Chains A and B, each alone.
Chain A
Amino acid sequence: MTIVVAFLAILIGVVAWWLSTQRIMSKPWLEIGVIDEPPGVRPPPAKIGLGVFLAVAGVLFALSISAYSMRLQAADWWPLPVPRLLWFNTGLLILASAALEWSKVQSRHADLDGVRFGLIAAGVFTLAFVIGQLMVWRELVGEGYFLASNPANAFFYLMTGLHVLHVLGGLVALARVTSRAFRTDEARGDKVSGERGKLRLGVELCAIYWHFLLVVWLVLFALIAGWAGDFFEICRQALS
């Protein structure tokens, strides 16, 4: 459980830093009158909401990694082979993330075609990633690595499954943003700026979510491939 506590410590650090900017030392019983917030743009609620959601999803993954690391120490742990396809899938997810980042940059430059292209490319790469993960599962099952035959297998399927579910959820949001991108027309009066703003925000949120999923995947991949085992060993020796 050290890992999840460490993750929470980071979150608590962020919250503490944020609270320290909120005048928590003030004495409200002495202050009369309107206190305006420091000038600056409030980030849109959806962005804050996504940030909070990522913290929740982060805890979810940190917990499964914690459980994984606790279980890893037992003697009956037979690690799975790492299918080559996983490398390819990792590449696909990186490409999807990059496409969304590109789309985000284009949305700032008001290049609608670029935005649309980036969104579609990201969608295609991500779908390919999901299919690739399913193929990895089939390959492993074909070689006899069933879900229930060893704890290592169970954790592999559980963690990759949780990750794919989060990717699928992201795809729903991505589909909505993409359809908005195709509905937004360039020359249609004063409503355009509002629509544009919404689109830009949607693309940005998708990009943030995809980068998060990519980081989670890289961590999970490192665990599955067994590189993290040495790291855990070092940590354990340092702590004991």
Chain B
Amino acid sequence: MVDVPLGVAGVPLAEVEDVELYHPKSWLTHYVFSQDAKIIAVQYSVTALSIGLVALMLSWLMRLQLAFPGALSFIDADAYYQLITMHGMMMVVYVLTALFLGGFGNYLIPLMLGARDMVFPYANMLSFWFYLLAVVVLFASFAVPGGPTGAGWTLYPPQSITAGTPGLAWGIVMMLVSLMIFIIGFTMGGLNYVVTVLQGRTRGMTLMRMPLTVWGIFTASVMALLAFPALFVGAVMMLFDRLLGTSFFMPEIIEQGARLPYGGGSPILFQHLFWFFGHPEVYIVALPAFGIVSDLISVHARRNIFGYRMMVWAIVAIGALSFVVWAHHMYVSGMNPYFGFFFATTTLIIAIPTAIKVYNWVLTLWRGDIHLTTPMLFALAFIVTFVNGGLTGLFLGNVVVDVPLSDTMFVVAHFHMVMGVAPILVIFGAIYHWYPKVTGRLLSVPLGQFHFWVTFLGAYLIFFPMHYLGLMGVPRRYYEMGETAIYPPSAHDLNIFITVMALLVGAAQLAFVFNLIWSLRHGRPAGGNPWRACSLEWQTSATPPPHGNFGKELPVVYRWAYDYNVPGAPEDFIPQNQPPLAGEIASRAP
């Protein structure tokens, strides 16, 4: 391990104050209560991936129930709703958000910007422990009387806190408390990510030289900081309604002839608050994925990213626009048709910057020297999947098309494609890409290829037929189709097919888990820069990067992060910290 200088000694950069690093003194502060962003990143990632496996198993149970109703005796209607709710909430908040921002954000932001660590390491550590506490509370709701809440991941009142919904006694309280803890923890982490990007960049690293991964994570963090308060307020109010008898969201309700003590609240208010968080949340997950995919494609196609400026502007534009589209989740809530018109328009406008990004990815690939490595396969699969899911988004963004499709399997298929499968493909790609930096060893290629093809093709076999089920009118959230004559027998067969595929794809993830563990010891040594990439995280003094990330001196940045196949350069890539080559300045003059 390289010694990191304390204080400012040995750092020649007058402009950048070196942070006073916290130096761990014991095993406990080194690996458990660590303030090193890299360790925190691994803690976040391992926790989130484990929750992902649990949520995957919950989806197996749901699929088994849908294909073979009654085959599993312990799944009744209540249990099914609990499975749906926990699967959705875990995947969206505790897996995707935590993995992209807490995991990749913590690992990549300081390394890619040439910083020694995050600016507030202590808050960063607290952020992870709050996250873990939120997870513990969430999982504890499986053990409380009545079980977890079955209100659906959107938790719409009044049904989420009236009798008949499972988990009324404790589950909903645990869920809301867990979300509040998560949001407090995230705020501490999010402040770190944002301020580190603003303040922690090394000399020469201007905003327009940051890799797109950092742009994506940065913008998503800003959005999350501004969007999560809506969920927080909604959760506090619902907790008041549930525990203290207020009526923020509860209208007058007559239950079995008896009037409940509630009255005068507005369930629509919760929908507004929830989706004011919920829609940006889609892009909080998507923007880091966009950024990471841009980098993966550029590195593995050995080409500079096409339209870097446009990519940055598109990320920022998507981030801003995503705050004025939330009500497209509420077309069937009985709102004013003019609102529907407004939100349909903004929703369709968001397609423009998104399409710009897709074009730029494709144009980056055009005539590139494409290496079909495992990360590249996942990145390519993401583009295809995201376009597919995005196209059905155009259907659902239009009020007249959305109304008949609302609450059908079509919606389930759409959001699983665009916000489930697509970001997870990026997560896999990113893990295959950065695992060598984290551990110093490459993941096994044959296992990776197997994992990729089963996951990619399998996901399509699961979610493509689901669109047809939705068009037939099969509703979502029903725990069995029952003996309804309107669905042809083929719909039942399709359901069974989807379930079999879901089981296979889920089981194939074990290959990935095995690969992660096995390669830790037996993977091929990677060296410092196995993909021959330009960005700073590959130019560290040692691999895995030591405490303090870089050696005695912080790198100085002389160029952007995408100098691949520059004519006249000795190699097909020029690292960001490579000073100008002879004659290079003249040849690049605009």
Contact = CB atoms under 8 A, between A and B. Distances in A.
B580 A32 contact: yes
A34 B203 contact: yes
Interface in A141-177: 147-148, 150-151, 154, 158, 162
A5 B584 CA distance: 48
A12 to B, nearest CB: 5
A98 interface: no
Interface string B323-364: 110000000000000000000000000000000000000000
Interface string B218-251: 0000100110011011001100100011111000
Nearest to B556: A34
A24 B210 CA distance: 12
Interface string B263-291: 11110010011001000000000000000
B191 A29 contact: no
Interface in B533-563: 556-560, 562
B266 A71 contact: yes
A24 B191 CA distance: 23
Interface residues of B, number: 62
A234 interface: no
B521 interface: no
A56 B195 contact: no
A64 interface: yes
Nearest to B270: A67
B226 A49 contact: no
Nearest to B119: A45
Contacts of B247: 148, 151, 154
Interface string A13-33: 001000100111111111111
Contact of A30 (B225, B229, B266, B589): B589
Given A45-B119, A60-B232, A74-B266, A28 B198 contact: no
A64 B229 CA distance: 10
A148 B245 contact: yes
Nearest to B579: A33
Interface stretch (B22-30, B306-314, B380-388): B306-314
A188 interface: no
Contacts of A33: 558, 580, 585
Interface in A74-100: 74, 76
Contacts of A218: none
Nearest to B261: A148
Contact of A55 (B120, B203, B225, B588): B225
A60 B230 CA distance: 7
Interface stretch (A35-43, A117-125, A132-140, A206-214): A35-43
B266 A27 contact: no
B401 interface: no
Interface residues on A, range: 35 or more
Nearest to A70: B269
Given A4-B276, A33-B585, A37-B15, A64 B120 contact: no
B207 interface: yes
Contacts of B312: 24
Interface in B312-326: 312-313, 316, 320, 323-324
A24 B311 CA distance: 11
A1 interface: yes
Interface of A: 1, 4-5, 8, 11-12, 15, 19, 22-37, 42, 45-46, 48-49, 52-53, 55-57, 59-60, 63-64, 67, 70-71, 74, 76, 147-148, 150-151, 154, 158, 162
The 3 nearest A-B residue pairs measured at CB: A148-B245, A28-B560, A154-B246
Interface of B: 15, 17, 119-120, 187, 191, 194-195, 198-200, 203-204, 206-209, 222, 225-226, 229-230, 232-233, 236-237, 240, 244-248, 261, 263-266, 269, 272-273, 276, 304, 308-309, 312-313, 316, 320, 323-324, 556-560, 562, 580, 584-585, 588-590
Given A24-B309, A29-B560, A49-B119, 20 more contacts: A22-B207, A27-B590, A29-B304, A30-B588, A32-B580, A34-B203, A36-B203, A48-B198, A55-B225, A60-B233, A63-B273, A67-B269, A67-B273, A71-B266, A74-B266, A76-B264, A147-B244, A150-B264, A158-B236, A162-B236
